[in-house]
Structures are given as C-alpha cells and as structure tokens.
Amino acid sequence: MSQVVALVDDLFFQMKLAETAKQLGVAMKIATTGEALQAELAAAPRLVLVDLNARSQPLAAVERLRAAGHATRVIAFFSHVQTELAQRARAAGCDEVLPRSSFTQNLAAILSAVKE
C-alpha cells in the first residue's frame, strides 16, 4: 500500500520525490496522469501530492477525487507567480497549496507527517 501518491509528470521532480520518500521510509507511487491517480486512490493513500503545473489537468483530477468522496489530504504546489492557479486549486478541493520553493523546502517534513 502506498502512503503517498504524487501526480507529477516532471521526471526530475519525480526522482526528487521518490528519493526523499525512500530516505524517509515512506511508500510512494508516482502518477503521471489524472487517470493513473484515480487508479492509485483504490489503495487509500494517506496523502496526495499534486503538481499544479502538470500537463495532465491536475485541477480536474482533484475535482474528480473530491467528487468521488475521497477525503484524502491533498497538498498541491505551483510556481509562486501563479496566485490565481493557487486560488483555483483551493476551490477544486486542495487542502493546502504551496509555492514550489516552500513545498521543496518542507518536503521531508510533509512526507514524515504521513508516518505519524
């Protein structure tokens, strides 16, 4: 069972997430599309991470997740200059929306919280 599922299509960032999770002993799956994310939700992860700059319509994926009744915590991250995108993410159902720099800086703490 994955504790964390991340919707990320940036290969570099996928590796950063996977390596950090591995170092912390957190099971993580990477989904590169909204459909792949939906499939991973069957395993009831404790946390979903969403790259709002992914090309696979991440906001629609979050909206589908919430419409299906999933209460899983969702943390999204975005380029700090895209404040309107952050507002749309909150409206779509993201529990927390962070600038990419803040997300990256706090990644270890975010993933460690899943283990508690």
Tally the domains of the chain: 1
Q: What is the pTM of this model?
A: 0.94
DSSP-assigned letter for residue 106: T
- Is the Cα dihedral 85, 87, 93, 96 positive or negative? positive
In the prediction, which pLDDT does 83 show?
A: 84
Q: Is the pLDDT of residue 115 over 90?
A: no
- The alpha-helical segments, DSSP class H, found in 25-99 are 34-40, 58-67, 83-92
At 82, the pLDDT band (50, 70, 90 cuts) reads confident
Q: What helix, strand, coil percent values describe the chain, rounded to 5?
A: 50, 20, 30
Q: What is the CATH number of the domain that holds 24?
A: 3.40.50.2300
Full domain range(s) for residue 15 = 4-115
Residue-wise pLDDT for 11-59, tens only, equals 999 999 999 999 999 999 999 999 999 999 988 999 999 999 999 899 9
